Amino acid sequence: MTTLALHDRLRFDVDNGQVLDADRRYVLLRADVLMGLFEGLSEGAAEDALAALRDSVNRYGSASVRAYDNRADSDPAALLASVAAGAASLGWGRWHIELDGTTCRLRVVNSPFARARRVRGEACAAIVGMFSAACSHIWQEPVLATEVHCSACGARSSSPEENVCTFEATRQPST
């Protein structure tokens, strides 16, 4: 049985003003509008707000990861491919994920968060949150996910292919 891509599963319930994937409600919002919020904050407040966004996406994005999980297929690569496909469906860039025993690496081409951000600094907190949710689900233990490089932190190209952000998640076994 083939699973529909997220963008094919989204139901636009215009009578009730909502976009749904099963019981998960989505909001369509321009990336520059969302990221513009951080431009109006002081540096410290912007960092705090980005951290709160990261943590919220990690917490609530876990429901999406569970929805993508197909227990009939225990291959973590299949789940990561579903997460990557879901990210593309939602306009979160093109994700390329590599997994080894203790580390997972993510390369995102054309991150909307980095492209829309006009201030310097790591902009892809939402991606860190979703990446953390996915890796925690796979490893069934906490992870430390970080943005290693953000394309918002330097000269950006007009070509999406040249705007690449990289992330890394490592297992953090409970002690």
Strand partners, 147: 167
H runs (alpha helix) in the chain:
6-9, 31-39, 43-68, 76-89, 112-116, 125-139
Which two tokens mark 49?
């707000």
Q: What is the pLDDT of residues 112-122, one digit of tens each?
A: 998 766 655 67
Residue pair 156/163 in contact by the 8 Å Cβ criterion: yes
Provide the CA 10 distance to its chain's centre, in angstroms: 18
Q: What is the pLDDT of residues 160-169, one digit of tens each?
A: 567 899 999 9
In Å, what is the CA distance from 10 to each residue of 21, 64, 69, 143?
Answer: 5, 13, 17, 29
Q: What is the pLDDT of residues 5-26, one digit of tens each?
A: 889 999 999 999 999 998 989 9
**pLDDT score, position 158:** 61
**pLDDT score, position 136:** 94
Average pLDDT of the segment spanning 19-47: 90
When mean pLDDT is compared across 35-49, 55-69, 108-122, 137-151, the lowest value belongs to 108-122
| Cα–Cα distance measured from residue 118 to residue 57, given in angstroms and rounded to the nearest whole number | 22
Residue ranges of domains in the chain: 32-171
Q: Which residues of 114-152 are buried (b: 16+ CB within 10 A; e: fewer)?
A: bbbbeeeebbbbbbbbbbbbbbbbbbeeebebebebbbb
In terms of CATH architecture, what is 32-171? Answer: 2-Layer Sandwich (3.30)
CB atoms inside a 10 Å sphere around CB 55: 14
Sequence-distant (6+) residues with CB within 8 A of 159 are none
